[in-house]
């Protein structure tokens, strides 16, 4: 499905991503996790072709990505970012359908698809005529997801999709998203810094630090057989507050 081979990226002297190999099997949800600046977003943006790698190659659905085929390939990728990245001058409907209209898809198909997706993400049809400024943060992320799914891509790239939401909405959307992924059976690569979220979504976790992949595996692998001390530190830093909460309830 997606294969990264010796892909690296530098900004001047600063290393953003060391030469990295990564394989994402079809239908699987892979979560990139790590502290800020570890290279997880860089990796995602390299896959989407938003930045060019300095070395290595990315193979998507059997073809090596190049500047020539990236536009085509992006139609098979859905991309959602933290703040949603919605176009403020377009209505929800226009935001979601912009690419389909550009590709001159059949208007009836577009309408049907819009209804289907608004049901999927549970947005009321009357919201379709609103502008992003008239939506709540959670609604915006739902719209962003609709836009990413519009052309029925094979791969979903999510960069901290729930990062700017408050905890209640975030919890609710996590559940919905997981259900949607399960139902659609898409390949998902998601970036987060929240280990609970990572565990909730991911079959495979990729823990990164300073541009390197430290360890790849299930949460159990990481917790029980940490490749280095950092893995343990990273997990326990986020487990500690949980433990305290549990303690307080006793």
| 48 interacts with another protein by CB under 8 A | yes
Region of 52 on the Ramachandran plot (φ > 0 left; ψ -120 to 50 alpha; else beta): beta
Q: How many residues bind another protein (CB under 8 A)?
A: 30
How far, in Å, CA of 65 to CA of 55, rounded?
A: 13
Burial label for 88, CB within 10 Å (0-12, 13-18, 19+), is exposed
| 164 interacts with another protein by CB under 8 A | no
| 87 interacts with another protein by CB under 8 A | yes
Of 15-23, 88-96, 178-186, 197-205: span binding another protein (CB under 8 A): 88-96
Q: End-to-end alpha-carbon separation of the chain, Å?
A: 47
| Minimum distance of another protein from residue 250's CB (angstroms) | 42
| 114 interacts with another protein by CB under 8 A | no
| Minimum distance of another protein from residue 16's CB (angstroms) | 16
How far, in Å, CA of 181 to CA of 179, rounded?
A: 6
| 98 interacts with another protein by CB under 8 A | yes
Burial label for 154, CB within 10 Å (0-12, 13-18, 19+), is middle
| 74 interacts with another protein by CB under 8 A | yes
Joined together, the tokens standing for residue 15 give 């290393």
Cα–Cα distance list, 9 to 40, 87, 173, 246 (Å): 12, 29, 33, 42
How far, in Å, CA of 132 to CA of 92, rounded?
A: 7
| 67 interacts with another protein by CB under 8 A | no
Of 78-86, 160-168, 183-191, 213-221: span binding another protein (CB under 8 A): 78-86
Looking at the Cβ atoms of 51 and 223, the one nearer to another protein is 51
| 77 interacts with another protein by CB under 8 A | yes
| Residue in 133, 168, 248, 249 binding another protein, rule: CB under 8 A | 133
Contacting positions for another protein (CB under 8 A): 45, 48-50, 71-75, 77, 79, 81-83, 85-91, 98-99, 102, 131-134, 147, 157
């Amino acid at each position: 499905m997606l294969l990264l081979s010796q892909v690296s990226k530098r900004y001047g002297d600063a290393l953003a991503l060391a030469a990295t190999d990564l394989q994402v099997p079809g239908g699987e949800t892979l979560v990139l996790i790590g502290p800020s600046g570890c290279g997880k977003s860089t990796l995602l943006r390299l896959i989407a072709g938003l930045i060019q790698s300095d070395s290595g190659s990315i193979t998507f659905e059997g073809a090596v990505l190049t500047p020539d085929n990236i536009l085509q390939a992006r139609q098979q990728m859905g991309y959602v970012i933290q703040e949603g990245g919605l176009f403020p001058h377009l209505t929800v409907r226009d935001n979601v359908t912009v690419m389909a209209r550009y590709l001159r898809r059949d208007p009836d198909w577009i309408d049907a698809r819009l209804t289907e997706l608004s049901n999927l993400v549970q947005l009321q049809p009357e919201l379709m005529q609103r502008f992003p400024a008239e939506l709540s943060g959670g609604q915006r992320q739902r719209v962003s997801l609709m836009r990413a799914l519009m052309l029925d891509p094979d791969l979903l790239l999510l960069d901290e999709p729930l990062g700017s939401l408050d905890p209640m909405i975030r919890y609710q959307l996590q559940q919905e998203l997981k259900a949607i992924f399960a139902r659609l059976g898409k390949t998902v690569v998601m970036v987060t810094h929240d280990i609970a979220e990572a565990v909730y979504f991911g079959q495979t976790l990729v823990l990164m630090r300073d541009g390197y992949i430290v360890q790849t595996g299930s949460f159990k692998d990481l917790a029980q057989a940490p490749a280095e001390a950092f893995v343990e530190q990273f997990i326990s830093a986020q487990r500690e507050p949980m433990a305290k909460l549990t303690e307080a309830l006793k």
